[in-house]
Structure 1
Amino acid sequence: MATTVELNSEALNNLCQRYHEQNSQFTQSRSLDVLSYEHSANTDTVTGFFGRHQILTLKVRRTDADGREHFEEIRFFTKSPPLEMASRMEYIEEFGLFKKEVRIFREVLPEFQKIFPNVAPKCYFADERLLIFEHLADQEFRMAAGRDGLLDYKHLQCALKSLAALHASSIVYEARCGRKLNELHPEAVVEIAYPLDIPQHHVRKQNFNNANRVFLELIKLLPKYQQNREYILREFPKRMAAIFELIQTSKKYLNVLCHGDLWANNMMFQYGKCGESSPLQSRLLDFQLSRYAPPMVDLMTALTIPTSSSFRREHLSELLCDYYRFMTEFLKQNQLNIDDFLTREEFYETAEKFRIVGLIESLLFSHLTDLPPESTESLTSSADGFSDFFDAKRVEICSEAFRSDDIYRVRLTDMLEDFIDNFVLNIKI
Structure 2
Amino acid sequence: MASEILSTTDCETIVKNYLNRNDFEVMWYNLKPFFSEVNGFLGEHLLLLIDVKIKERTTTLRFFTKRFPFEHPMQSQYLNSMQGWQREIYFFETFLPNLERTLPGYSLDFVPRYLLGKPNDIIVFEDLTLRNFDLPRKPSLNLLDNQHICLAIKALAKYHAGSLAYEEYKSRELGKPYRLYSGEEELIKEPLIRKEEGFLGYDWFKAGVSGLRALINRVYKGEKPLEEVNAKFEILVEKALQLMFPHSNFRNVLAHGDLWAKNIMYQYEGDSSEPINVLLVDFQLQRYNVPIHDVLLFISLTTNRETKQKYFTFYLNYYYKEICNQLQSLNVSPEEVSMAYDEFLGSVTFIMPEIKIQGALQRLQQCGNKDFYTKLLGNKEEFIKFVFGDKTPFALELFDTDDNFRGLLTEAVEEVIESCLYPEIFREDCYRILEDTLGKSAYELKQYKTETIDEKEFLFKLEITVVIEKNEKEFKFLVQNKPLGFAKVIKKL
TM-score, normalised on structure 1?
0.90
> Residues of 2 paired with 1:5 and 1:175: CA distance?
45
Task: Assess if the C-alpha contact under 8 Å between 2:232 and 2:421 holds in 1.
Answer: no
1:147-162 pair list within 5 angstroms: 147=140, 149-162=142-155
Aligned to 2:375: 378
Amino acid at match of 1:361: Q
Q: 1:395 aligns with which of 392, 396, 403?
A: 392
TM-fit CA distance, 1:378: 3.5
**1:103-148 deviation line (CA, Å, top 9, x unaligned):** 2222212333562311111111112111101111221111115435
Structure 1 residues 211 and 174: alpha-carbon distance in aligned structure 2, compared to 1, 3 A threshold: same
Q: 1:414 to 1:290 in 2, by over 3 A?
A: same
Cα root mean square deviation, aligned: 2.3
Q: Is 1:122 paired with 2:119?
A: no
Q: Distance in 2 between matches of 1:3 and 1:245?
A: 44
Bigger strand fraction: 2
SS in 2 for 1:159: helix
Runs of 4+ in 1 over 6 A off after TM superposition: none
Q: Structure 2, unaligned stretches of length 5 or more? A: 172-177, 426-493
Q: Give the CA deviation at 1:102.
A: 2.3
Q: Which residue of 1 aligns with 2:132?
A: 140
Aligned partner of 2:346: which letter? E
Structure 1 residues not aligned, in runs of 5+: 22-28, 64-68
| CA pair 13-41 structure 1, distance change in 2 beyond 3 A | same
> CA 1:381 to 1:281, structure 2 compared with 1: closer, same or farther past 3 Å?
farther
Q: Distance in 2 between matches of 1:46 and 1:313?
A: 34
Contact 2:2 2:30 in 1 (8 A): no
Q: Tell me how far apart the structure 1 counterparts of residues 326 and 379 of structure 2 sit (CA, whole Å).
A: 44
TM-aligned CA distance change 1:260 to 1:142, over 3 Å: same
Q: Mapping of 1:13-24 within 5 angstroms?
A: 13-21=12-20
Whole-angstrom distance in 2 between the partners of 1:410 and 1:252? 36
The structure-2 alpha-carbon separation of the partners of 1:238 and 1:118, relative to structure 1 and needing over 3 Å to count, comes to same
Report the Cα offset of residue 184 of structure 1.
11
The number of residue pairs the alignment matches comes to 412
CA–CA distance in structure 2, aligned partners of residues 132 and 370 of structure 1: 29
How big is each residue's C-alpha offset from its partner over 1:40-99, in whole Å with a ceiling of 9 and x where there is no partner?
203377611121111111111122xxxxx3322211111122101112212222232222
What is the 5 A alignment of 1:11-410?
Answer: 11-21=10-20, 31-43=23-35, 47-63=39-55, 69-112=56-99, 115-128=106-119, 129-144=121-136, 145-147=138-140, 149-178=142-171, 179-183=178-182, 186-195=185-194, 198-222=195-219, 224-225=221-222, 228-272=225-269, 274-341=270-337, 342-381=339-378, 383-392=380-389, 394-410=391-407
Q: Deviations over 1:232-260 (max 9, x none)?
A: 22221321232222121111111111100
Counterpart contact for 1:45–1:54, Cα < 8 Å: no
Higher relative contact order (CA 8 A, sep 6+): 1
Length-normalised TM-score, structure 2? 0.78
Counterparts of 2:204 and 2:22 in 1: how far apart (Å)?
A: 53
User: Take 2:313 and 2:165, find their aligned partners in 1: how far apart are those partners?
Assistant: 26
Conserved 8 A contact 1:331-1:338: yes
Rg (Cα) greater in structure: 2
From the superposition, tell whether residues 226 and 381 of structure 1 become closer, same or farther in structure 2 (CA, over 3 Å).
farther
Taking a change above 3 Å as real, the CA distance of residues 5 and 320 of structure 1, as seen in their structure-2 partners, is: farther
The Cα shift of 1:265 comes to 0.8
SS in 1 for 2:221: helix
Which deviates the most, 336-345 or 353-362? 353-362
